[in-house]
Every structure is written in C-alpha cells, then in structure tokens.
Amino acid sequence: MLEKTVLVIFPSIYSLNKINNLAANISKILKIKNQHHSGIRKNESLIIVEAVDPVLASSAVNLLFGIDKIAIAKEVDNNFDSVLSAITNTALSLLLKGEKFYVKVEGKTEKFLAKDLEVASTAMLVEKSMHLEAKPGSESDHDRLVYAYLTDAYAYVCIFVDSGLSGIPYNSQREKILCCIYDELSAIACLQTIKMGFEVKILICYHNESDLLKLAKIVNKMLPRIIEKNTVLHICKMDRSPGIPTTITVITQVMISIASREKIGRISLGISPMIFPASFCEYNANLAFQNKIIPWFSLSGIDSGILENAKEIGLEKYIANLEDLCKKHSNYKKIPMSQISKHAKSVLKTIKSIQVTTGPKNIHDIIDSLKSNH
C-alpha cells in the first residue's frame, strides 16, 4: 500500500464552479510565501498539493478565501482494506489515553459504501486501542475526530483538519473595485468585498499619525489575502469634519473621483442599512450612480457575524471600537453638496500612491513612504 502525505483543499460550496480560480490562487500564494511543492492537481472536487512542508503550506493556503477546510492527509489507493488500515494506523498515532473517538467518512466511491468503512474502522479501533482505554464516541460527543474522504481514485485519511474562510476565490469575479479603509467597519466591508471575489484596490483615509498607524496595522492584516507580491495603496489625509455622516459622504465623493480616474467601475461603501438609516445609504449610492460608478454594499445584510469576520483578519483588539460604531448613527440629515465638494477637493489634494511588498515590514513601508513623499 502506497501512502503519500499531501495537502487537501476542500473548496467552499460557492467555489465549486470556480475550482480553477482557486487552484491558481493556491499556486500564487505558495510562490509568494516561498513554499515549494512538486505539483498541484485536482481530484474530483478536491485540490491536492504535494507540498515539501505541508504544515507551512497549510498556513499559507489558509489565508485564501474560497475554502471550506484544509487537511493534511495520507493519500492511499482506494480499496477497502488499504483505507481501513490507513484509518486505523493514523488514528492510533493520534489517540491519547482515555479519549473518545469518532470515525467520519465522507465522499463516495463505486467500490464500497462510506458507512461500511466507518463501521469497520470503528470496530478495528476499539479492538486495537484497548491499551489506551479509548472508546468510541458520537458525532456530538467525542474528543478526537478521525476523518477520511473518498474519491474514485484515492482516499484521504486526515492527520489534521482546519476550517477555511469560505467565500469565493480572490479575483474570480474578474472585476475591479475600490475600497476605502477609514475605521473598523470600513475594514470589515473591505474584507467582505475580498471574500466576494473582487480584485480589490485599497484607499486609506486617515486624520492624524496615530490614526494612520492604526489603519496601517489593519491593512497589513488584509494584504496577504489580496495575493499580490506588490500592492499599490492610495492614501489620503482628511481633517475631521463635523459629524460622521459628513465624513463618510466626503469619502464616498473621494472614492468616486479616484475610481473615475483609475477606470475602476465599482466602489465598496463601508456602510450598512443594519447600522445607518436606509436614506443615508441610498444618498451615498446615488452619488456613485450619478457618476456612472456602481456602488457595492458588502455589509448590506451582515449581522452579529461581523465580529467573527473581524476575528478572521486579526482585528480582535478593535472589536470594542466596532461595537461602539454599531451603537451610533441613528440620525441623519441631508448634507449640502457644496459642503461635501469643498471637503472632497481638500482631501484629493493630499492623495499619495505607494507600492508595498507583502511581508512583515508593510506597516513601516506605508508610514516611511508617506514621510518621504511629503
């Protein structure tokens, strides 16, 4: 029986018709992260990576959207006895004394039923793990999950399984969109836009140096998910205007100007009718439509799951600020366009474009580039 340790990527349900895009993104992120492999191939709905270091490769691939789960697994020929042996040996190497285990086999093959393999594997593990005092558990009550997946050609017996970020592959929409990051909520909107498969261009809008540092740290969490070795960031400075609604509308006007100049057909608005009045959201959307730009509300239906999205990109320490933002903005009065235009023209004069290389020095690169440009 030949066994090979491989990385197995399970696409999200929304990526099943975009597997080629996901495979291309996997190849790209592994190259950016200097993770060597001998090949990437598809096996039915799975993507298999023969990585030199499956653990580090798994960490790199798990930055991507479009993935349900990632596993480090043993790939074995798909015959009943070989898979049974692989499941038993793998489980015995992982089980600790007194643990409850649960064998779960998914996928399908014409050769045998997944349920038959589950039953046989459980029985054999009970027999061979007596010295460990391990016992079979249930799907809802177990300490150790023993997971295997069947295809017609191979079976994959998992050593380690990690959850993915779901969504669809980056740039699978083949459409560019401009996002502006100016607070925690707009950062989540940008994350959601990336998750929806757009090619995202980023604008950072800050008030002062401490604000810039905070936003640079947030952007640093997002850049690896854009899957580019080098990324161009647009950065502008904005004096504090009277009220958050005015600030947001000025930013919308600035985004419209940049998108028009850069020939980007869409902008992602970092607001949601779940937080802001619908009339305010519609007002900002109409500003875009009037300039032949399509507005995109990435947060249109998001609820408390927004906090989980914040954790996805390491924004845990900003969650308190995010909760404060969600408690505000219940009132809205129409803002005079003359006031918006005046502020927007002032902000547009401060626009700088810098190129950063994905890596640990992104934050310093952003701040140092701005200082040298000024």
Residue 40's closest CA among 74, 9, 70?
9
The CATH 3.30.2130.30 portion of the chain extends over 3-166
Which tokens go with 98?
């007194």
pTM here?
0.89
pLDDT above 90 for 202: yes
pLDDT above 90 for 90: yes
Strands 3-11 and 67-77: antiparallel
d(CA 225, CA 206): 22
Give, in words, the CATH class of 176-373: alpha beta
Percent of the chain with pLDDT over 70: 88
Q: What number of other Cβ atoms are within 10 A of residue 83's Cβ?
A: 27
Determine the pLDDT at residue 374.
47
Q: How confident is the model at residue 229 (pLDDT cuts 50, 70, 90)?
A: confident
- Tell me the per-residue pLDDT of 52-78, one tens digit each, with 9 for 90 and over: 999 999 999 999 999 999 999 999 999
Averaged confidence pLDDT in the chain: 89
- Tell me the per-residue pLDDT of 131-158, one tens digit each, with 9 for 90 and over: 999 999 999 999 999 999 999 999 999 9
- Tell me the per-residue pLDDT of 108-128, one tens digit each, with 9 for 90 and over: 999 999 999 999 999 999 999
The DSSP line for 77-139 is: ES-HHHHHHHHHHHHHHH--TT-EEEEEEEE--SSS-HHHHHHHHHHHHHHHTGGGT-EE--S
Q: How crowded is the C-beta side of 68, counted as CA atoms within 13 Å?
A: 12
The CATH 3.40.50.620 portion of the chain extends over 176-373
Could you tell me which CATH number the domain at 3-166 has?
A: 3.30.2130.30
Q: What is the DSSP letter of 268?
A: E
d(CA 206, CA 121): 58
pLDDT above 70 for 228: yes
d(CA 64, CA 24): 11
- Tell me the per-residue pLDDT of 267-304, one tens digit each, with 9 for 90 and over: 999 988 888 888 999 999 999 999 999 999 998 866 55
